[in-house]
Amino acid sequence: MQTRNKVFEDISQLMTNAMGVAQGAKEEAETALKSMLDRWLADRDFVTREEFDAVRAMAQKAREENEALKARLDALEAKSPD
């Protein structure tokens, strides 16, 4: 009976080790895939979300300034005698 328990313990240890190896392989594969994806995106000149938001804010500010300048110009044109 003791031999049988030893066999089960060995099988259990082997399965535990195999699961650890599988987990390590999964993590390595995820890291490699993420690295490849990061390189692919960098090669395509995609921008980060932060860069996109910054440019969008600048464009919005420029749009508002243009509208204010247009209103001033319209007011000046309305005052000027033609």
Domain ranges of the chain: 1-46, 47-82
Q: Does 35 have pLDDT greater than 60?
A: yes
pLDDT for 52: 95
How far is it between the farthest Cα atoms of the chain? 113
**Could you tell me which of 43, 44, 25, 21 has the C-alpha nearest to residue 33?**
25
pTM of this structure = 0.47
- How does residue 43 score in pLDDT terms, banded at 50, 70 and 90? confident
Would you give the DSSP letter of residue 45? T
Q: Which two tokens stand for residue 39?
A: 């390189």
Q: Does 2 have pLDDT greater than 70?
A: no
Letter for the amino acid at 8? F
35-54 average pLDDT score: 90
Q: What are phi and psi of 23, to 5 degrees?
A: -65, -45
Q: Does 80 have pLDDT greater than 60?
A: yes
pLDDT for 34: 95
